[in-house]
Structure 1
Amino acid sequence: MSTVSLRSAAGRWVVTSSILASAMAFIDGTALNVVLPSLQRSLHASGAELFWVLNAYMLMLAALILLGGTLGDRLGRRRIFMTGIFIFMAGSAACGLAGTVFWLILFRVIQGIGGALMIPGSLSLISSAIDEAERGKAIGTWSSVTTLVTIGGPILGGALADAGLWRYIFFINIPIGVIALLCLWWKVKEQEIPAEAPPQDYPGAVLIVGGLALLNFGFLRMPVAGFDSLPAYGSIIAGLALLAAFVITEKRSRHPMLPLYLFNNRTFSGANLLTFFLYGGLSGSMLFLSLNMVQVQGYSQLESGLSFLPFTLLMVFLARLAGSMADKYGPRWFLIIGPLLAGTGMLLLSLVQETSGPASYWTTFFPGIFVLGLGMTLTVAPLTATVMGCVGSQLSGTASGVNNAVTRIAGVFAVAVFGAMAVLFFSGSMLPSLQNVSLTPAQETAVMAQTANLGNAAVPEGLSRPQQVFISHLYHQHFIQTYGKIMAMCGFLGWLGSIMAWIFIRKDKVPGK
Structure 2
Amino acid sequence: MKFSLPSLRPLTDPGNIPAQHLIVATASLASLMGALDMSVVNITVPSIIKAWQIPVGVGTLIIISYMLTITGLILFMGKLGDRYGFRHMFLLGLVLFGLGSFLCGIAPDITSLIVFRILQGAGAAMFSAIGPAIITTYLPVSVRGKSLGLLIAMSAAGYALGPGIGGFVSQYAGWRWIFFLNLPIVLATLVLSWYCLPSASGTTEQKPLNFTGPSLFVAALVLMLAAFTFFQVPGTPDAVLLLLFIVGAIIGGIFIMRERHNPDPLINPALVHNRDFCLGILACLIVTTLFSGVTYLMPLYLINSRHLDPSLAGLIMTAPALLSILVAPAAGSLADRHGSILISMAAVGLAAGGFLIFFTFNPLTFVIVIVAGMLITRVSTAAFFGPNARLVMGHCPPDSVGDGSGVLMTVRHVGMVAGIAFFQSVFAIRMYMAGIPRDGTPLVAKLTPALSVLGYQAVYLVAFVLCIAVVVIIRVTRDVPDKEYAAESGVIPPDGMM
User: TM-score per shorter chain, which class?
Assistant: 0.7 to 0.9
Match of 2:368 among 345, 362, 365: 362
- After superposition, residues 463-474 of structure 1 pair within 5 angstroms as 474=445
Match of 2:415 among 394, 410, 417: 410
- In structure 2, what is the Cα distance between the partners aligned to 1:396 and 1:214? 27
Match of 1:492 among 462, 471, 489: 462
Change in Cα spacing, 1:393 to 1:318, as seen in structure 2 (3 Å) is same
Show CA shifts across 1:326-356 (max 9, x none). Answer: 4555544544443343245346446656689
Per the alignment, residue 506 of structure 1 pairs with: 476
- State the Cα distance separating 1:110 from its structure 2 match: 2.8
Q: Is the 8 A contact 2:146 2:329 kept in 1?
A: no
- In structure 2, what is the Cα distance between the partners aligned to 1:483 and 1:47? 29
Q: Is the 8 A contact 1:422 1:486 kept in 2?
A: yes
- After superposition, residues 13-412 of structure 1 pair within 5 angstroms as 17-29=26-38, 32=40, 36-37=42-43, 39-40=45-46, 43=49, 54-96=63-105, 107-125=116-134, 130=138, 140=146, 144=150, 147=153, 151=157, 154=160, 157-158=163-164, 160-162=166-168, 164-165=171-172, 167=175, 168-184=177-193, 190-221=199-230, 224-227=235-238, 229=239, 231-293=240-302, 299=308, 302-312=311-321, 314-326=323-335, 330-346=339-355, 348-349=357-358, 361-363=367-369, 365-390=370-395, 395=400, 398-412=403-417
Q: Is the 8 A contact 2:84 2:202 kept in 1?
A: yes
Q: Which amino acid aligns with 1:250?
A: E
- In structure 2, what is the Cα distance between the partners aligned to 1:431 and 1:316? 40
- In structure 2, what is the Cα distance between the partners aligned to 1:494 and 1:384? 22
Partner SS for 1:109: helix
- In structure 2, what is the Cα distance between the partners aligned to 1:94 and 1:486? 41
* 137-146 vs 283-292, greater mean Cα deviation: 137-146
Q: Which amino acid aligns with 2:377?
A: L
- In structure 2, what is the Cα distance between the partners aligned to 1:220 and 1:296? 24
Change in Cα spacing, 1:303 to 1:256, as seen in structure 2 (3 Å) is farther
Identity of aligned residues (%): 23
Show CA shifts across 1:202-242 (max 9, x none). Answer: 22221122112222344455662443x2x432222111111
Show CA shifts across 1:451-481 (max 9, x none). Answer: 2xx76xxxxxxxxxxxxxxxxxx45638x95
Q: Is the 8 A contact 2:130 2:405 kept in 1?
A: no
Segments of 5+ residues of structure 1 without an aligned counterpart are: 434-444, 456-473
Change in Cα spacing, 1:267 to 1:341, as seen in structure 2 (3 Å) is same
- In structure 1, what is the Cα distance between the partners aligned to 2:66 and 2:142? 30
- In structure 1, what is the Cα distance between the partners aligned to 2:433 and 2:58? 20
Q: Which amino acid aligns with 1:112?
A: G
* 67-76 vs 218-227, greater mean Cα deviation: 218-227
* 36-45 vs 411-420, greater mean Cα deviation: 36-45
- In structure 2, what is the Cα distance between the partners aligned to 1:273 and 1:266? 11
- In structure 2, what is the Cα distance between the partners aligned to 1:289 and 1:393? 41
* 144-153 vs 165-174, greater mean Cα deviation: 144-153
- In structure 1, what is the Cα distance between the partners aligned to 2:330 and 2:198? 35
- State the Cα distance separating 1:177 from its structure 2 match: 0.8
- In structure 1, what is the Cα distance between the partners aligned to 2:49 and 2:481? 51
Match of 1:477 among 414, 427, 448: 448
Q: Is the 8 A contact 2:393 2:401 kept in 1?
A: yes
Change in Cα spacing, 1:337 to 1:46, as seen in structure 2 (3 Å) is farther
- In structure 2, what is the Cα distance between the partners aligned to 1:214 and 1:149? 25
Q: Which amino acid aligns with 2:184?
A: P
- In structure 2, what is the Cα distance between the partners aligned to 1:156 and 1:220? 19
- In structure 1, what is the Cα distance between the partners aligned to 2:248 and 2:467? 25
Partner SS for 1:224: coil
Q: Is the 8 A contact 2:328 2:385 kept in 1?
A: yes
Show CA shifts across 1:123-168 (max 9, x none). Answer: 545665x5x66x8659856864884696577557425515625734
Show CA shifts across 1:263-321 (max 9, x none). Answer: 43333332222222211111112122234445665555554443235534553444445
Q: Is the 8 A contact 1:277 1:496 kept in 2?
A: yes
- In structure 2, what is the Cα distance between the partners aligned to 1:220 and 1:153? 17
Partner SS for 1:407: helix
- In structure 2, what is the Cα distance between the partners aligned to 1:126 and 1:72? 13
Q: Is the 8 A contact 1:263 1:269 kept in 2?
A: yes
Change in Cα spacing, 1:4 to 1:202, as seen in structure 2 (3 Å) is farther
- In structure 1, what is the Cα distance between the partners aligned to 2:249 and 2:223? 8
Q: Which amino acid aligns with 2:374?
A: I
Segments of 5+ residues of structure 2 without an aligned counterpart are: 483-492, 494-498
Count, aligned residues: 466
Q: Which amino acid aligns with 1:283?
A: S
* TM-score, scaled to structure 2: 0.74
Change in Cα spacing, 1:250 to 1:225, as seen in structure 2 (3 Å) is same
- In structure 2, what is the Cα distance between the partners aligned to 1:107 and 1:494? 40
Q: CA RMSD in A?
A: 4.5
Per the alignment, residue 467 of structure 1 pairs with: none
Q: Is the 8 A contact 2:361 2:457 kept in 1?
A: no
Q: Which amino acid aligns with 1:485?
A: G
- In structure 1, what is the Cα distance between the partners aligned to 2:21 and 2:330? 26
